[in-house]
Amino acid sequence: MAIIELNNIGKVFRTREIETTALENVNLSVEKGEFLSIMGPSGCGKSTLLNIMGLLDNPTSGTVRITDTDCASLSDTARARFRNSNLGFVFQSFHLIPSLNVAANIELPLDYRSDSGQRQERVREVAERLGIAHRLKHLPSQLSGGQCQRVAIARAIVGRPSIILADEPTGNLDSRMGNEVMDLLHELNRRDGITVVMVTHNEEQARRTDRIVRFFDGRIIN
Ligand SMILES: Nc1ncnc2c1ncn2[C@@H]1O[C@H](COP(=O)(O)OP(=O)(O)OP(=O)(O)O)[C@@H](O)[C@H]1O
Ligand SMILES: [Mg+2]
């Protein structure tokens, strides 16, 4: 069963002077439970596609279906709620909030859900799972890069999403930290059945996943 279905996706960025075609006629379905890698040269549209898949950006044309919901039909609030409960995001540069400690960063996706006691419990549970429970009171600036990415992954899974979208999650990490983050993503995929779509420039990491989709110039080439 497809959990993500992209149909004829096109994306054109328009400013007053320039028009950039970032994606053209992209068709892709991701199976439930799959670990998919997206590869391709810089500027070929990988992040643009991931943002569209994650409902962070709208396509210029085409349709996005996630867990059988036509996402274009959702209102802004419904879309935010849908994103919040189905999708977890992990980025190359972590995107943690510098003024919030680790616990508060992890708790962010739960802000509009459940009571505070349950939230704390859930935060502690994922922090323990990711080996950062002893750093809950630290600020992001007091952590290593690998620890920051663990916090970001904890934040991505705290709401129990069915899908994780990761844009070069190991891009800022050394190879040892990178391997640890990859092991975590594989464990979340295998043990928890979370579908993972990951953009990477690392062939070795990509080979460990179920399938590689290659992009060139805004199109899928295989
Ligand atoms: N907000 C924007 N406005 C205008 N053009 C954009 C915008 N975002 C991306 N682009 C253009 O769209 C194309 C695809 O960009 P994208 O960020 O998706 O590439 P990428 O494959 O993720 O590259 P990288 O591997 O370097 O991260 C590029 O030509 C880029 O310049
Ligand atoms: Mg990118």
**pLDDT score of 114 more than 80:** no
| Residue carrying the six token digits 């930290």 | 177
DSSP H/E element including 150: helix 145-157
Q: Is 48 in the pocket of ligand 1 (CB under 6 A)?
A: yes
Please tell me the residue having the least CA distance from ligand 1 atom 22: 47
Q: Among the bound ligands, name the one nearest to the CA of residue 22.
A: 1
CA of 200 to the centre of ligand 1 (A): 15
Q: Is the pLDDT of residue 112 over 80?
A: no
Domain count, the chain: 1
Q: What is the pTM of this model?
A: 0.94
State which residues form the domain around 167. Answer: 2-220
pLDDT in tens, 4-51: 999 999 999 999 999 999 999 999 999 999 999 999 999 999 999 999
Give residue 7's pLDDT. 97
Residue carrying the six token digits 């439970």: 33
Reported confidence tier of residue 107, pLDDT bands at 50, 70, 90: very high
Task: Tell which atom from ligand 1 comes closest to the C-alpha of 45.
Answer: 18
Ligand 1 test: best mutation among 12, 48, 217, most atoms within 8 Å of CB?
48
pLDDT score recorded for residue 141: 97
pLDDT band at 222 (very low <50, low <70, confident <90, very high): confident
How would residue 56 be classed by pLDDT, with cut points 50, 70 and 90? Answer: very high
Terminal CA-CA length for the chain: 21
Cα dihedral 172, 161, 24, 60, rounded to 10, equals -110
Give the mean model confidence (pLDDT) for residues 201-221. Answer: 97
Predicted confidence band of residue 90 (pLDDT cuts 50, 70, 90): very high
Q: Please report, for the domain that includes residue 168, its CATH number.
A: 3.40.50.300
Q: What share of the chain in percent tops pLDDT 70?
A: 100
- Which ligand is closest to the CA of 23, given by its number? 1
Q: What are phi and psi of 77, to 5 degrees?
A: -70, -45
